[in-house]
Structure 1
Amino acid sequence: MTGGALLAWAPGADAATLATPDAPRLLSATVSGCQAPCAPGESGQVALTFTDPAVPAGETIGNRVYADGVPVDPIASRSGSPEVLYFSICSGIRRPFEGCLTQQQVDAVRGGEVFTVTARAYAGNPDDGTAQVSAESAPSNGLVPTQQ
């Protein structure tokens, strides 16, 4: 079911692509909870604050976050400008209620990594075949979280 949902959002082979957006600008990265880098058995949270590049009217931005080059998924966000994304620090222990749902996330976030953010532009409707997507932007500036 998930694979089909992902394919539904992919543009067709002949769909026009949008211009690649500029890289986002990472403004801050902080750790709360455990002392970064967190030791096994500790938990905490990384908060990334960033601004997205401007895109033409009718387009929206989607972001991807990397911790030392490994994609990680946020557990919460605060929209606006600047935007804030929150990531669980799991330190090798799988605790689903802390947002540590994938092994990739458990292995990636300890609070001492270099974080970067990328952007893609989206427009159109995947249901009627008008979906368009850009290439992924270059990574933002990299930041290692500081203790909050």
Structure 2
Amino acid sequence: KNFQALVGRGAKAEVDGETVLVGNRRLFAEYHHDTGMYEEKLAELEQQGKTAMLAGTAHTLYGIIAVADTVRENSREALQTLRDAGIRQIAMLSGDNNRVARAVAEKLGLDAYFGELLPEKKVDTVRALARQYGKVAMVGDGVNDAP
């Protein structure tokens, strides 16, 4: 009960009177957990393009859960269509950590990527890109793509 989505950090809920956490390093740092013993495995999973989340309670860190978004089959074709239409720069703005964002950007052949962005920071980044390039278009696929 008492489920809370914690923007940019993860989620927490109460289970049998205990606070259960699933999220990133920032969330567990708030609860004074030392994630050092998991850093090597977290980095390895993130290098593979997976989002690695820690799982535990307010008092104990139990392990890692890793998930991966699959890149849609037609993504590269859609990006090529944009390039053929004269789009010169294609960038990705992501709430995922930088390692995951880099892995996806490399897989898609993007010109730039920006990781670890909260929705408000995505707006700031789009504005900065508009100042740099003039015209900017933005496409989002989730609730975290804008405030």
| Structure exhibiting the larger radius of gyration computed from Cα positions | 2
Return the structure number with greater relative CO, CA threshold 8 A, min gap 6. Answer: 1
Higher fraction of helix: 2
- Tell me the TM-score normalized by structure 1: 0.25
- Tell me the TM-score normalized by structure 2: 0.25
Higher fraction of strand: 1
